[in-house]
Amino acid sequence: MSNLLGIVGFVLLLLISVMVHEWGHFAAARRFGMKVTEFFVGFGPKLWSVRRGETEYGVKAIPAGGYVRIVGMTELDQVEAEDEPRAFFRAPAGQRSVVLAAGSFMHFVIGAALLLFVFMALGSPTPSTTLTEVSTCVPAKASAGCTSTDPVSPAAAAGLRAGDRIVAVDGTPVDAWAQISARIRAAAGADLRLTFERAGARQEVTVTPAAVDRPDPDTGATTRVGFLGVTPSTVMQRSGPVDAVKETVTGIGGVLKGTAQALWTLPQKTVELAKVLFLGGERDPNGLVGIVGAADISGQLASTDAPVAARVGDVLIVVAAFNVFVGVFNMLPLLPLDGGHLAVLWFEALRSRWARLRGRPDPGRVDTNRLLPFAYAVFVLFVGLTALVVAADIAKPVQLG
């Protein structure tokens, strides 16, 4: 049930994101006096619509996006004489640029708003100083379970239990798990004096962490560290407004960096995904993932054993990251994307300015009909890539560790 709720939640939030994207175009166009005749969610046959003023609002059968129809948006539009003063192409280049970029801008607004909500209202999963599990052994590897030949863990030998809250190490008060973990890892084979609370009473015990080879959490390199055999419980730690803004900026920056890397490696990742789909093999969890895959990942995140707030937060973070990616992708200078229309607009503006500087007449608008073959080719590539990713998401879905 949780898996289904995660998938449905992702899809609903994505549809809302589409509506907000189109509302961005709509609001900007109306703000500059342009005539908007349609605002629809979906494509294909019309399911429902209502007219308010000069605009028809509605829903169509295929929930694969949405659109806003602005009079005079392209050369193909037939503009009535009475509508020409309010046509898109009659507006100054700056206003047209704002209208074209407004959709992608709203995706960034959605991403930032969701991250702020997660950090301020739900919080981030943070390990506490309370133990949730005490291992019975010292496993040979970090991911291995206990066997009959593994030695008893120092924590179990010392009598530590789930629910104990560590308050001091060697007499030094601690209030974060990172402090405790650092002391344990640095004390391989050396005694540690732990002060903990159990059932409201303070107790003290001396333990000697076992020396084991484990990966360094920062570098991944194997190193010899101390092992106690305890796992902290997770709590949701909310951030104040200032910290939440900083975390949101950091989060958006991370998504932007990941998006740039994904776009740069798109040809390579596409070939790798095709090989996995048609020739077999393991799917790269850091490879291409489409809407179906993102929805499935949301379902997996929603069905973990984490606290409800953490699961909801994880799904919202996926939606936020997806919005930022779409915002960037949509601004690529390729027709039929908004970024392609924006590139044509800027080319027109630069060409007009250059003509004025040379004392020549304005060459006017670019004949977009001549760009249609290129736009169709890009569209076919997008459809092919989407089909490939969807097929992989269904046949070989990404499994979270």
The domain that holds 220 is classified in CATH as 2.30.42.10
- Tell me how far CA of residue 115 lies from CA of 61, 67, 233, 304, in angstroms: 31, 26, 23, 20
Cα 83 to Cα 24: distance, rounded to the nearest angstrom:
22
Q: Looking at the structure, do residues 157 and 208 belong to the same domain, yes or no?
A: yes
Question: Do the domain assignments include residue 367?
Answer: yes
Amino acid 332: pLDDT: 93
Q: In this predicted model, what pLDDT tens digit does every residue of 242-273 receive, in sequence order?
A: 999 999 999 999 999 999 998 999 999 999 88
Provide the 8-state DSSP code for 122. I
Q: Among residues 237, 261, 282, which one ends one of the domains?
A: 237
Contact by Cβ (8 Å): 338, 310 = no
pLDDT of residue 32: 96
Strand locations in 71-160, DSSP E?
A: 124-134
Same domain, 278 and 344: yes
Residues 185 and 112 in one domain: no
Residue 1 is predicted with a pLDDT of 67
Please name the helix (run of DSSP H) or strand (run of DSSP E) that holds residue 240, with its range, or none: none
Nearest CA-CA partner of 192 in 149, 150, 226, 241: 226
Q: Give the pLDDT confidence score for residue 282 in this predicted structure.
A: 81
Domain contains 52: no
Q: Is residue 63 part of a domain?
A: no
pLDDT at 31 (0 to 100): 95
Residue 338's domain comprises: 1-35+71-123+240-401
Query: Coil, helix or strand for 243?
Result: helix
Answer whether residue 55 is part of any domain: no
Whether 283 and 136 share a structural domain: no
Nearest to 207 by CA among 231, 188, 234, 232: 188
**Does residue 149 sit within a domain?**
yes
Half-sphere exposure of residue 331: CA atoms within 13 angstroms, side-chain side: 21
Same domain for 166 and 312? no
What's this model's pTM, rounded to 2 decimal places?
0.84
pLDDT, residue 64, reads 74
Q: Are residues 179 and 309 in the same domain?
A: no
Among 190, 211, 237, the domain-final residue is 237
User: 16: how many CB neighbours lie within 10 A of its CB?
Assistant: 13
Q: Is 169 within 8 Å of 180 (Cβ atoms)?
A: yes
Residues of the chain with confidence (pLDDT) below 70 = 1, 75-76, 220, 401
Residue ending a domain, among 211, 237, 263, is 237
329, 258 in Cβ contact below 8 A?
no
340 and 384 in a single domain? The answer is yes
Q: Which residue type occupies 340?
A: G
Active site amino acids: 22
Are 246 and 151 in the same domain? Answer: no
Residues 257, 312 share a domain: yes
Q: Are residues 119 and 131 in the same domain?
A: no
Taking alpha carbons only, the member of 124, 125, 130 closest to residue 231 is 130
What percent of the chain shows pLDDT beyond 90? 56
Residue 16 lies in a domain: yes
Query: What's the total number of domains in the chain?
Result: 2
Same domain, yes or no, for 276 and 193?
A: no
Same-domain check for residues 132 and 222: yes
Residue 40 in domain:
no
Domain membership flag for residue 49: no
By residue count, the chain amounts to 401
